[in-house]
């Protein structure tokens, strides 16, 4: 391995390690700390790694195109408040918000895109993957608002609402940076990411729905821009592109479905069975897909998901009692000797179990135990 390659690998791995470890540390303000780290790292990367690639002659055209699309996206997203409603924006720009949030976010965007462009210019597949993961982590540090991942619930919120959209967005950013340089990405991200701090009202769109939009939009944009500026290629390459498009569509569908299930904000949600109270039909480590409860008819013997001290419990209904206008549901775990203490009402019920995926939840249980062990 040449000296230049060793330097390239070492640089990319160190940068990834620094920011990945930051996800699990309470930094106070992850935005400010990440921006401060990038201030010396970005110019150092430019100084250490000199090689650059020739950019497409369409770079200026793409820049103006992305400015237009970003502006339309921001306007439409804000106008969604006509349907979802508006509320007073608590982050509307003030001197404090500008210094604590807007400037750090701008620094992260600019520094991250510079690092992305420099490392992608080396045309090294391993480094391309490392810088992709680094940029995903930077996105999580920008928007997660989690003061260090310490619990399993924090991790799942990060995955569903931040990491999935970040993966999708960075496929697009990688393509643009590689072909048209860092400037189009910088301008596009500043418009779409910072416009919310300059409007006095914010849309009440649910976070889970916004996460799904953030997954879909970059992939559609990638397909549009790549098709618009694709060079003429032979038939074999075009066939390959069709296969790649199918894979991309499937990947996006999986990401969207996963985000929707993890968020538990849509018709269906997903839960991992973390105890042995239902051993037999539903075992520890299984994942269940449940349908959100909307006053459906519940029968004795049905397995339901209900809230108990803000915890989601998966147990079977063993008796139903109607007293006046109130319906009381008595529940029990199949492996438990006694019924659960008390009873549940319609307000406690979250969903009705629909599908069981055996063993699928074990990785999340291992991760939960790992996070508990780090407390």
* Amino acid 107: pLDDT: 95
State the Cα–Cα distance between residues 107 and 190, nearest whole angstrom: 10
CB atoms within 10 A of CB 154: 17
Work out the angle between the directed axes of helices 103-120 and 3-22 (0-180°, nearest 10).
Answer: 150
CA angle centred on 157, ends 191 and 352, rounded to 5°: 125
- 157: confidence class by pLDDT, cuts 50, 70, 90: low
**Locate tokens 């420099």: which residue?**
118
Alpha carbons 75 and 338: distance in angstroms, whole number:
56
State the pLDDT at residue 332: 92
Name the more confident of 37 and 2: 37
Going through the chain in order, the beta strands assigned E by DSSP cover: 86-88, 201-203, 268-272, 287-292, 303-308, 311-323, 326-332, 349-357
Ranking 151-165, 194-208, 213-227 by mean pLDDT, the lowest is 151-165
Least confident of 74-78, 291-295, 348-352, 356-360: 356-360
State the number of CA atoms in the 13 A half-sphere of 280 facing the CB.
9
Mean pLDDT of the chain: 81
pTM to 2 decimals? 0.66
- What local confidence, expressed as pLDDT, does residue 234 receive? 41
Q: What is the pLDDT of residue 232?
A: 39
**To 10 degrees, what angle do helices 207-228 and 235-263 make?**
170
Task: Identify the residue with better confidence: 90 or 54.
Answer: 90
Query: Is the per-residue pLDDT at 6 higher than 50?
Result: yes
Interval 88-129: pLDDT, tens? 988 888 888 899 889 999 999 999 999 999 999 988 999 999
pLDDT digits (tens, 9 = 90+) for 58-78: 888 999 999 999 999 999 888
* 166-185 per-position pLDDT tens digit: 888 999 999 999 999 999 99
Average pLDDT rounded to a whole number, residues 284-294: 83
């Amino acid at each position: 391995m040449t000296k230049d390659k060793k330097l390239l690998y070492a640089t990319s791995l160190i940068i990834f390690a620094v920011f990945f470890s930051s996800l699990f540390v309470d930094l106070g303000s992850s935005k400010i700390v990440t921006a401060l780290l990038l201030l010396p790292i970005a110019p150092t990367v430019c100084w250490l790694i000199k090689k650059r690639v020739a950019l497409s002659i369409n770079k200026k055209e793409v820049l103006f195109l992305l400015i237009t699309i970003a502006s339309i996206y921001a306007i439409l997203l804000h106008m969604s408040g006509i349907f979802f409603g508006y509320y007073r924006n608590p982050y509307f720009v003030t001197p404090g918000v500008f210094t604590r949030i807007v400037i750090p976010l701008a620094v992260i965007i600019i520094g991250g895109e510079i690092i992305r462009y420099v490392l992608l210019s080396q045309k090294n597949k391993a480094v391309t993957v490392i810088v992709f993961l680094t940029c995903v982590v930077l996105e999580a540090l920008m928007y997660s608002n989690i003061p260090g991942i310490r619990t399993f619930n924090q991790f799942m919120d990060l995955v569903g609402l931040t990491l999935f959209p970040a993966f999708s967005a960075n496929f697009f950013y990688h393509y643009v940076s590689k072909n048209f340089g860092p400037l189009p990405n910088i301008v596009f991200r500043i418009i779409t990411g910072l416009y919310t701090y300059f409007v006095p009202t914010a849309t009440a769109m649910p976070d889970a729905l916004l996460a799904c939009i953030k997954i879909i939009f970059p992939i559609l944009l990638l397909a549009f821009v790549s098709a618009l500026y694709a060079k003429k290629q032979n038939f074999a390459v075009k066939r390959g592109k069709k296969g790649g498009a199918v894979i991309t569509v499937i990947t996006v569908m999986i990401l969207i479905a996963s985000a929707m299930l993890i968020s538990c904000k849509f018709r269906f949600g997903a839960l991992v069975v973390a105890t042995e109270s239902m051993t037999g039909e539903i075992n520890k480590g299984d994942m269940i897909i449940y349908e959100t409860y909307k006053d459906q008819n519940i029968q004795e013997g049905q397995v339901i998901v209900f809230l108990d001290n803000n915890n989601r419990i998966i147990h079977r209904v063993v008796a139903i009692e109607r007293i006046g206008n109130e319906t009381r549901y008595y529940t029990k775990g199949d492996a438990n000797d006694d019924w659960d203490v008390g009873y549940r009402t319609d307000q406690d019920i979250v969903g009705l179990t629909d599908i069981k995926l055996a063993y699928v939840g074990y990785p999340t249980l291992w991760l939960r135990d790992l996070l508990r062990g780090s407390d």
